[in-house]
Amino acid sequence: LLLWNQTRQQWCGNKTPQKNASVGEPKLSLYTSYEMFLETNKLFPQPIPLPEMVDFLVDVWEQEGLYDKATT
């Protein structure tokens, strides 16, 4: 538990919440591919907002036939 808490603290840091001054500016490039996520373990230059990541994954899943909006 101690190691988990230390790791979480390093991951989260003591950052203050950032203001959403850049709302609307996507963090992911239009050319980002799902394979890119699988091929690297490098961090992105800036955090990817969760809603943007969810939208990205839904798009990939729809293209692969793994997600059907009609069933949600």
Asked whether residue 11 is domain-assigned, the answer is: no
Share of residues in the chain with pLDDT > 70 (%): 72
Q: Note whether residue 3 is domain-resident.
A: no
The predicted model gives 22-48 an average pLDDT of 74
Establish if 9 belongs to a structural domain.
Answer: no
Looking up tokens 């943007």, which residue turns up? 52
Q: Does 42 reside within a domain?
A: yes
Q: Tell me the pLDDT of the chain averaged across its residues.
A: 75
* Residue 23, pLDDT above cutoff 60: no
| 43-56-12 Cα angle (round to 5) | 35
Per-residue pLDDT, 8: 81
The rounded distance, in Å, linking the Cα atoms of 51 and 58 is: 11
Compare 69 and 16 and report the one with higher pLDDT: 69
Domain count, the chain: 1
Structural domain range at position 50? 28-72
pLDDT classification of 21: cutoffs 50, 70, 90: very low
Inside any domain, residue 65: yes
Asked if residue 50 belongs to a domain, the reply is: yes
